[in-house]
Amino acid sequence: MHIVVCMKQVPDSAQIRVHPVTNTIMRQGVPTIINPYDLFAIEEALRLRDQFGGEVTVLTMGPPSAEDSLRKALSFGVDRAVLLTDRFFAGADTLATTYALATALRKIGAEFGAPDIVFTGKQTIDGDTAQVGPGVAKRLGFIQLTYVSRINSVDVDKRLIEVERRAEGGVQQLQSRLPCLITILEGVNEIRVGSLTDALKAARAKLVRWSAQDAGVEDITKCGLRGSPTIVKKVFAPQPRAKKAEFIELGDKPGEALVEALFQRQTNLESALEKLARGY
Amino acid sequence: MSNAPKAPAAAGRATTKKELPEHLKSYKHVWVFVEQERGQAHPVSWELMGAGRTLANKLGVDLAAVVIGAKNEQTQSVLHEAFCYGADLAYLVADDLLKDYRNESYTKALTDLVNLYKPEILLLGATTLGRDLAGSVATTLLTGLTADCTELDVDAEGSLAATRPTFGGSLLCTIFTLNYRPQMATVRPRVMPMPDRVEKLVGRVIEHPLGLVEDDIVTKVLAFLPDRESSKSNLAFADVVVAGGVGLGSPENFQLVRQLASVLGAEYGCSRPLVQKGWVSSDRQIGQTGKTIRPKLYIAAGISGAIQHRVGVEGADYILAINTDKNAPIFDFAHLGVVSDAVRLLPALTEAFSKRLSPHQRDRLAS
Ligand SMILES: Cc1cc2nc3c(=O)[nH]c(=O)nc-3n(C[C@H](O)[C@H](O)[C@H](O)COP(=O)(O)OP(=O)(O)OC[C@H]3O[C@@H](n4cnc5c(N)ncnc54)[C@H](O)[C@@H]3O)c2cc1C
Ligand SMILES: Nc1ncnc2c1ncn2[C@@H]1O[C@H](COP(=O)(O)O)[C@@H](O)[C@H]1O
């Protein structure tokens, strides 16, 4: 079985700061990590390989520095890492991203064997759209299984797969066919600590590094900023409310004082709360 | 190289609006995909009808509901509701193959409708179903999709201005899909207010066939296991919500939030770090990657008010914030602020509320 995991290197964005005057993002010195949601995809892929044999390839589109995350993935025991990097990819929105990734996935299929399953994480913490998985599936003509919480069975010979998928108000049990693209739900497994051998291999491994041309991109205008139908016109800090909060001092009976202050300002609140507190 | 929200560097290029290509000029009207799973319309669809109404009025076009489902009474009743929530007309694909949501069949139904009837704006709920569908449809149509918007508007030239939080950080960005149609956007449940329902008769309905047989659809639904009622929290729809953050200091102190919520008959919630620490379960997280709430009263204790939290609570009628730092960002959008140690104030508040609201609660608390 050949499994490919799409993963992204993201800024550890809890630490991103905004310049107070120019309102631009200060990316310098922000550490990067593997998108946390993608770790579940990597682990699920490794488990399937351990069970059925075969290979796991990880693929990322990103700047040359994304190599760090690929090596990290190799240290978990992934067999092969592909870095898709080219200035033509810069500024891609989801549609342009899926064009590049799907092109690279076809090339991976041609070079290393057709993928049976492609995994993505549920979403990234920087783009945060949860759309790249579905987009890649569509472009490859793969069946798409999103928000998968459990893979119940895979029959490689019959090309069948059964999964559980989080839906609104319940869980769908689905039977579908390989090849498919699965976006995996968070929390379904825990990424392994790689073996020492894998850690050593990871440090020395040769990555597969492809430019747009290497990957077989035919139409460069479909990549990056040029290939992106969405355009960011304005980036801005949220407006403070016209008025800041009214601060109150509470004195020596703080509980009573605060309840009183609330009910004075929100006159309907007391009766509403009385009803709620009685369980209506 | 980021996804949807791009670096501000794009701004220079973006302000030059090109003329819409000829074949896209006929795209008109605002559509809302009405999501139903197993015969139940999702409330987010009606919230979108409210937002869609404003857009349609500004553009001077129609607001249409798109209803896709089994050929049965439930689908008919969802169709009727769509008119009660403001649809001028509806597009309907009704076929028993559409009883359960499946990506293949729903993508076909919706893309066929778009290609045939050409809307300029298409809105979907950012639910598991809506996101699954929107990604496929946008890629099939090769158009732009802005996910998880918190604000929708049209600019002076009639383009959809979709605003969403970005960079997982303290910023919002406004995104346009200038030279492609339809302009697609998803919005999470409870982000837009619920419009009033006005009883109406079913109006103009344009029906379109699905054009598939079961053998055309690869994926089969073996079973649907509904969530147990008891395991669902009512956080998104609660009238009063009490939440705690990192400032509480320990999981034991989080009990103080639960106790206040219990006395108030409220739901409790938390900021994201408490979920990551394992103090509170993930269905209690409030914010951009958690639940959006619209209570009458929101009490936030020991929460700093980061943008990802803020976008989840801004729909609250009244926000009371308790924080030791008078410069905490939460005071920028709270209505009432107390600079104080929440660990000490919460028990006092719980006691004061219970005395005031119902004497028997106080007895229970004491015993
Ligand atoms: C992609 C992404 C998505 C995110 N999604 C969400 C989300 O959905 N929801 C969410 O909440 N966050 C989310 N976050 C995290 C968010 O950026 C903040 O890190 C988080 O909201 C901070 O939580 P906090 O306010 O509890 O903690 P902190 O920011 O650490 O604030 C603690 C506050 O407590 C105050 N304090 C300390 N001691 C006391 C005391 N004794 N009494 C009272 N106050 C005290 C401090 O002054 C401080 O203001 C997301 C982040 C990213 C990158
Ligand atoms: N640049 C990228 N390279 C490889 N995989 C990506 C990239 N961007 C997104 N993905 C994958 O798509 C998923 C959803 O991303 P998003 O749509 O940005 O939320 C992520 O969890 C990744 O698995």
- For residue B89, give the nearest of B114, B113, B68, B64 by alpha carbon: B64
Do residue A241 and residue B332 have CB atoms under 8 angstroms apart? Answer: yes
Of B37, B177, B333, the CB nearest to A230: B177
Inter-residue contact B221 to B346 (CB < 8 Å):
no
What class is the B230-366 domain?
Answer: alpha beta
Can you read off the two tokens belonging to residue B219? 């994926």
Tell me what pLDDT residue A20 has: 59
Put simply, the answer to whether B176 touches A231 (Cβ < 8 Å) is: yes
Contact residues, chain A, for B143 at CB < 8 Å:
95, 229
Q: How far A50 CA sits from the closest chain B CA (Å)?
A: 26
Pairing of strands A180-184, A117-120: parallel
CA proximity to A152, closest of A134, A172, A137, A136: A172
Is a pLDDT exceeding 50 seen at residue B13? no
What the block records as the tokens of A72 is: 């990290």
Q: What is the DSSP letter of B285?
A: B
Q: Does the Cβ of B302 fall within 6 Å of ligand 1?
A: yes
Residue A133 CB less than 6 A away from ligand 2: yes
pTM above 0.95, yes or no: no
Level-2 CATH architecture, domain B6-225: 3-Layer(aba) Sandwich (3.40)
**Res B100: pLDDT:** 94
A14 lines ligand 1 (CB under 6 A): yes
Q: Which two tokens stand for residue B24?
A: 């896209």
Q: Check pLDDT > 50 for residue B4.
A: no
Would you list the DSSP string of B329-345? GGGGT-SEEEES-HHHH
- Three-state secondary structure readout of B192-205: CCCCCCCCCCCCEE
Nearest to B88 by CA among B126, B124, B127, B119: B119
- Which of B190, B268, B293, B303 maximizes ligand 1 atoms within 8 Å of its Cβ, making it the mutation to test the pocket? B303
- Give the mean pLDDT of B340-358: 93
Q: How many inter-chain contacts (A to B, CB under 8 Å) are there?
A: 340
A146 lines ligand 2 (CB under 6 A): no
Question: Nearest 5°: phi and psi at A275?
Answer: -60, -50
pLDDT of residue B1: 41
CB spacing of A230 vs B167 below 8 angstroms: no
Rounded to an integer, what distance in angstroms lies between the CA atom of residue B335 and that of residue A264? 13
Q: A239: CA distance to ligand 2 center in Å?
A: 30
Q: What average pLDDT does this structure show over B186-207?
A: 95
Residues of chain B with CATH 3.40.50.1220: 230-366
User: Could you tell me the two tokens for A198?
Assistant: 């894998």
Alpha carbon of B326 to those of A38, A248, B60, B323, B334: distances in Å?
38, 11, 46, 7, 12
Q: What is the pLDDT of residue B10?
A: 37
All domains in chain A, ordered by first residue: 2-227 (3.40.50.620), 243-280 (no CATH)
* Ligand 1 pocket test, candidate residues B2, B172, B246, B310, most atoms within 8 A of CB: B246
Question: Residue A273: what pLDDT?
Answer: 86
CA B217 to chain centre: 29
> Which residue's CA is minimally distant from atom 14 of ligand 2?
A123
Alpha carbons A25 and B352: distance in angstroms, whole number = 45
Q: Please give the pLDDT value at position B232.
A: 64
When comparing pLDDT for A126 and B298, which is higher? B298
User: Ligand 1: does its nearest atom lie under 6 Å from the Cβ of B115?
Assistant: no
| pLDDT over 60 at B343, yes or no | yes
Give the bridge partners for A230, in sequence order.
B177
Residue B2: pLDDT above 60? Answer: no
- Do the chains contact at A229 and B179, CB–CB below 8 Å? yes
The per-residue pLDDT string of chain A (280 residues; one tens digit each, 9 = 90 and over) reads 999 999 999 987 656 666 656 555 666 677 899 999 999 999 999 999 999 999 999 999 999 999 999 999 999 999 999 999 999 999 899 999 999 999 999 999 999 999 999 999 999 988 788 999 999 999 999 999 999 999 999 999 999 999 999 998 899 999 999 999 999 998 889 999 999 999 999 999 999 999 999 999 999 999 999 999 998 888 887 776 667 899 999 999 999 999 999 999 998 888 888 887 776 5
Kindly state whether B179 is in contact with chain A, defined as any CB-CB distance less than 8 angstroms: yes
The 3-class SS string of A223-260 reads CCHHHCCEEEEEEECCCCCCCCCEECCCCCCHHHHHHH
In chain B, CATH 3.40.50.620 sits at 6-225
Task: Identify which has the larger pLDDT, B208 or A128.
Answer: B208
Pick the closest to residue A172 from B102, B182, B59 (CA basis). Answer: B102
d(CA B198, nearest CA chain A) in Å: 25
Please choose from A3, A8, A56, A118 the residue to mutate so as to test ligand 2's pocket, defined by most ligand atoms within 8 A of CB.
A8
The DSSP bridge pattern shows strands B171-177 and A230-236 to be antiparallel
Cross-chain residue pair A232–B356, CB shorter than 8 Å = no
Beta strand B151-154 with B267-270 is unpaired
Three-state DSSP at B249 gives: coil
CA distance B272 to chain A (A): 11
Give pLDDT tens digits for B18-54: 678 888 889 999 999 999 977 889 999 999 999 999 9
Q: Which of residues 8-47 of B touch A (CB under 8 A)?
A: 8-11, 13-15, 35, 37-38, 40, 42
Assign residue B106 a region: left if phi > 0, alpha if psi is -120 to 50, beta otherwise?
Answer: alpha
Residue B109 pLDDT exceeds 70: yes
